Amino acid sequence: MTLQLAQLTVSHRRSHFTLGPITAEFSPGITGIVGVNGAGKSTLFNTIVGTLRPSSGRVMHRDTNIGYLPQNPIFPKNATVRDVLTFSAWLHMLKDPQERITDLITRLGLEEHATKRTSQLSGGMQRRLGIAQALVHDPAILLLDEPTAGLDPVQRIAVRTTIEEELGNKTVLLSTHLVEDIRHLASQLLVLDQGQVVFNGSVDELESTARDTHLGATPLEVALNQLYTGSGKVAP
């Protein structure tokens, strides 16, 4: 499933922030949406899923069912893992969803936690539950907004492994500002800086622009630092 953005622009009058215009096409696989805090990543996601209306331009895709993990998912504290997934399935009007729910619980390593209340889950398990609820209706397009934010190193590795193993056949947009997530998960990148696209291409292409005149422990860190400081910008 391909997702296309055609001259997409979103303007916030109060904050004087403008995202875009963005023209891009996303195919099956994992694309990293990268940028520092405030670059426009969450604004882009909210526009794609329809909670924000674009000021101009279009979002185009054939599948109206998009899976979405927001940056800070909030679950009812007294609901169990299975309760949350059952409710998500009901929202998507799925018939007889329990087999699907059981499969997701198993695939995402939530078997021991299926009857626990969400308030009893660790941060890593809450993220896994968030991914499961985004997948319950088997969407072809999936948006993950900072899926490893706030997790410790062990939890981040576990969530990254889950994403890599379970989502490679879908069109996945994964927003992050963590370089290690990019390197392990994404093959393509769209880099935002102050609402503007400063790079759209492969990880290898971006790394090839790195110069030893900028700070960074890896070629990817160096290349991103070049973009963020406005030096050596790569045309989208």
Q: What is the Cα–Cα distance from 173 to 170, expressed in whole angstroms?
A: 9
Residue 69 forms part of a structural domain:
no
The secondary element (H helix, E strand) that includes residue 85 is helix 81-91
- Per-residue confidence band for 16, with pLDDT thresholds at 50, 70 and 90: confident
How many structural domains does the chain have? Answer: 2
- Per-residue confidence band for 224, with pLDDT thresholds at 50, 70 and 90: confident
Q: Which domain holds residue 80?
A: 74-139
Classify 64 as helix, strand or coil. coil
Q: What is the Cα–Cα distance from 223 to 231, expressed in whole angstroms?
A: 10
CA-to-CA separations, 77 to 84, 87, 117, 201, in angstroms, rounded: 10, 14, 6, 41
- Per-residue confidence band for 213, with pLDDT thresholds at 50, 70 and 90: low
First to last CA, the chain: 22
Classify 25 as helix, strand or coil. strand
The mean pLDDT of 31-52, rounded to a whole number, is 89
In percent, the amount of the chain with pLDDT more than 90 equals 37
Same domain, 152 and 208: yes
Same domain, 85 and 180: no
Q: Is the peptide bond before 21 cis (omega within 30 degrees of 0)?
A: yes
CB 32 within 8 A of CB 190: yes
- Per-residue confidence band for 85, with pLDDT thresholds at 50, 70 and 90: very high
Question: Which CATH number do you get for residue 216?
Answer: 3.40.50.300
Same domain, 150 and 214: yes
Whether 107 shows a pLDDT value over 90: the answer reads no
Residue 162 forms part of a structural domain:
no
Same domain, 193 and 127: no
Same domain, 49 and 149: yes
Q: For residues 189 and 155, which has the higher predicted lDDT (pLDDT)?
A: 189
Query: Which residue reads 């900028």 in tokens?
Result: 214
Residue 197 forms part of a structural domain:
yes
The mean pLDDT of 56-82, rounded to a whole number, is 87
Q: What is the Cα–Cα distance from 164 to 36, expressed in whole angstroms?
A: 23
Among the listed residues 129, 133, 109, 107, the one whose alpha carbon sits nearest the alpha carbon of residue 120? 129
Q: What is the Cα–Cα distance from 107 to 109, expressed in whole angstroms?
A: 6
Same domain, 191 and 89: no
Q: What is the Cα–Cα distance from 167 to 33, expressed in whole angstroms?
A: 16
Whether 95 shows a pLDDT value over 50: the answer reads yes
Same domain, 43 and 89: no
Same domain, 152 and 135: no
Same domain, 94 and 46: no
Same domain, 149 and 236: yes
pLDDT of residue 63: 62
Residue 187 forms part of a structural domain:
yes
Residue 132 forms part of a structural domain:
yes
Same domain, 150 and 230: yes
Same domain, 151 and 210: yes
Residue 164 forms part of a structural domain:
no
Residue 68 forms part of a structural domain:
no
User: Among 8-17, 41-50, 79-88, which stretch is predicted with the lowest mean pLDDT?
Assistant: 8-17
Whether 232 shows a pLDDT value over 70: the answer reads no
Residue 165 forms part of a structural domain:
no
CB 145 within 8 A of CB 175: yes
* Chain segment 128-166, per-residue pLDDT in tens: 899 899 989 988 899 999 888 777 888 788 878 878 877
